Amino acid sequence: MDTKNLYINTIGCQMNVYDSEQIAKALIPLNYRAAPSLEDADLVIVNTCSIREKAEQKAFSFLGRLSRLKRKKPGLIIGVGGCVAQQEGKKIVKRMPHIDIVFGTHAIGRLPLHIKNIELKRYRIVDIEMSEKIDEFGHIDGFQQNKNVTSFVTIMQGCENFCTYCVVPYVRGIEISRNPENIIKEIRHLVDSGVREVTLLGQNVNSYGKKEKHCSFPELLARVNEIDGLARIRFTTSHPKDLSEDLMHAFKDMDKLCRHIHLPVQSGSNRVLKKMNRKYTGELYLEKVERLRNFCPEIAITSDIIVGFPGETDADFVETLDLIEKVGFDGLFAFMYSDRPKVPATAFPDKVSKREKKERLQTLLDFQDRFAIKKNVELLGKNESVLVEGFSKKYSKNADRSMPENIQWTGRTSTNKSVNFVRRKGSVLKNYTGKMVDIKIEKVLAHSLLGKQC
Ligand code: SAH
Ligand code: SF4
Ligand code: F3S
């Protein structure tokens, strides 16, 4: 049987990146392999995100452009998966006649059967059924695992926190945790294929295993920590209300667990946090940060913030800036509030204007940059252990490859800071990818560091 070309466009969070890999894996038995380019594809899948309006628009604009490709190549199959597919379902096929299949976030396991049917009978399918069990894809021989040094592993799906602005519980469904045995098996396979670092994914990893009475999240971490050949473990995301002492201990006790936590605070105003249904206060957040730093003083803390939540006043925004100053984050992802279908906040009064949201976002980012630089300056002259991921972007673009001295590599510190570096003169090592190397930090920028191999 001839192989067919599969092109996947992934929009959205790490979970979608992981799901796209599962989609590619699930389609191996149907003989689909990665397409060299979009134009060569026999099957195009758009894995969509619905977290903000912009992400949704991005999906529809790409899908719109595909209609031209389909006119040129009528046999082309086009599929829409992910969170917008789950949210919009049938509406997508009505709106876009060139789409063959819409499949939701729980339909990846059924995708091969659907594609087979489309290949044979060319009918259109919408499958957005949700289930209460998780699909396991296992290891498939012949699956060309990405050749990256680091890989994502979803450990649980769904979310039951219902923050009032967030679409995730509606498009990803109830919380379901994977069996720890399957997770460990999967990570072992990844390590066998060259992966050195895994990031365990869940919307709130702290509730891993609770419902199913598997082990707890810190217990799962301890098991992953024992896997030979694995160098580093990361995880995301941890909800501040559920961050436990056990997890704080893990940062102290587990040698492979990276010294970094992403702990989204969303706002520094208790009034806004309450309306967001986050179930903690700014004070409780600060207390947890302090406890974390007692356990692990070198830990890097990053966060997400929403500016312009309905009813957010200038005074609320100033409280957010105050909290940022008190914590001293290593990095921030800030977003302008965006109305989403079905979520309660969409109906909240006192919407903040686009202009104000933009201004607050810019103020916040400028404010944060000062702290980021300050944090990075503390690293000047220090030696940091870096897991090398490959050539730096700058080098990949324009350096002279004939001179090994010119090669600039890139990797990350345990605290998740990007470091670009050059090798030590006379080093015999040719390929640094996947290696753990000690780097002396010689220059700092707001979002990256420059150094030299020690
Ligand atoms: N489970 C994670 C968040 C996943 S969504 C957690 O609870 O932290 C990633 C981020 O998108 C959120 O932290 C939030 O900052 C942002 N976000 C979610 N819904 C949003 C909306 N309607 N408008 C703007 N930003 C939003
Ligand atoms: Fe969304 Fe809140 Fe769940 Fe995070 S915890 S995914 S922000 S509902
Ligand atoms: Fe992720 Fe976007 Fe869905 S952030 S869970 S792909 S809505």
**Any bridge partners for residue 411, and if so which?**
388, 419
Q: What is the mean pLDDT of the segment spanning 131-135?
A: 87
Q: Which amino acid is at 217?
A: F
Q: Residue 139 — very low, low, confident or very high, per pLDDT cuts 50/70/90?
A: confident
Residue limits of CATH 2.40.50 in the chain: 383-453
CB 254 within 8 Å of CB 222: yes
Q: What is the CA(184)–ligand 2 centre distance, in A?
A: 26
Q: Residue 133 — very low, low, confident or very high, per pLDDT cuts 50/70/90?
A: confident
- Look at the domain 150-376 and name its fold: pyruvate-formate lyase- activating enzyme (3.80.30)
pLDDT in tens, 224-283: 999 999 999 999 999 999 999 999 999 999 999 999 999 999 999 999 999 999 999 999
CB 399 within 8 Å of CB 407: yes
Query: What residue ranges line ligand 1, CB within 6 angstroms?
Result: 51-52, 165-166, 168, 203-204, 237, 239, 264, 266, 304, 306, 335, 337-338, 340
Q: What is the mean pLDDT of the segment spanning 367-381?
A: 90
Answer whether residue 142 shows pLDDT above 60.
no
> What is the pLDDT, as a whole number, of residue 448?
85
Residue limits of CATH 3.80.30.20 in the chain: 150-376
Q: Residue 428 — very low, low, confident or very high, per pLDDT cuts 50/70/90?
A: confident
What is the spatial distance between Cα 447 and Cα 190, in angstroms, rounded to a whole number?
29
Q: Residue 399 — very low, low, confident or very high, per pLDDT cuts 50/70/90?
A: low
Structure tokens of 176?
A: 């379901």
Ligand at minimal distance from the CA of 154 is 3
DSSP H or E stretch at residue 314 = helix 314-327
pLDDT in tens, 316-341: 999 999 999 999 999 999 999 999 99
Mean pLDDT is lowest, of 197-206, 279-288, 423-432, 438-447, for: 423-432
Q: What is the mean pLDDT of the segment spanning 405-423?
A: 91
Q: What is the mean pLDDT of the segment spanning 108-113?
A: 97
> What is the pLDDT, as a whole number, of residue 288?
98
- Testing ligand 2's pocket by substitution, the residue of 16, 52, 157, 168 carrying the most ligand atoms inside 8 A of its CB is 168
- Testing ligand 2's pocket by substitution, the residue of 159, 204, 278, 335 carrying the most ligand atoms inside 8 A of its CB is 159
Nearest ligand 2 atom to alpha carbon 169 = 8
Q: What is the mean pLDDT of the segment spanning 213-228?
A: 97
Answer whether residue 450 shows pLDDT above 70.
yes
Nearest ligand 1 atom to alpha carbon 304 = 15
Answer whether residue 350 shows pLDDT above 80.
yes
What is the spatial distance between Cα 209 and Cα 217, in angstroms, rounded to a whole number?
7
Query: What residue ranges line ligand 2, CB within 6 angstroms?
Result: 159, 161-163, 166, 168-169, 203-204, 239
**Phi, psi torsion values for 141, nearest 5 degrees:** -60, 140
Burial 40-68 (b: 16+ CB within 10 A, else e): ebbbbbbbbbbbbeebbebbbebbeebee
Answer whether residue 397 shows pLDDT above 80.
no
> What is the pLDDT, as a whole number, of residue 71?
96
**Rg (the chain; Cα; Å):** 23
Distances (CA, A) of 40 to 6, 104, 119, 168, 349: 9, 25, 17, 33, 49
Q: What is the CA(168)–ligand 1 centre distance, in A?
A: 9
Q: What is the mean pLDDT of the chain?
A: 94
pLDDT in tens, 354-364: 999 999 999 99
Which CATH class for the 4-127 domain?
alpha beta
Residue scoring higher pLDDT (142 or 234): 234
To which residue do tokens 């390590």 refer?
191
Query: What residue ranges line ligand 3, CB within 6 angstroms?
Result: 12-13, 15-16, 49-51, 82-83, 167-168, 171-172
Residue limits of CATH 3.40.50.12160 in the chain: 4-127
Alpha helices in 73-109 (DSSP H): 82-88, 90-95
pLDDT in tens, 285-316: 999 999 999 999 999 999 999 999 999 999 99
> What is the pLDDT, as a whole number, of residue 446?
73
Burial 251-272 (b: 16+ CB within 10 A, else e): beebebbbbbbbbbbbbbbbeb
Determine the length of the chain.
Answer: 454
Answer whether residue 144 shows pLDDT above 60.
no
What is the spatial distance between Cα 327 and Cα 371, in angstroms, rounded to a whole number?
10
Q: Residue 178 — very low, low, confident or very high, per pLDDT cuts 50/70/90?
A: very high
Of residues 113, 6, 95, the one with CA closest to residue 103: 113
Yes or no: is domain 383-453 CATH 2.40.50? yes
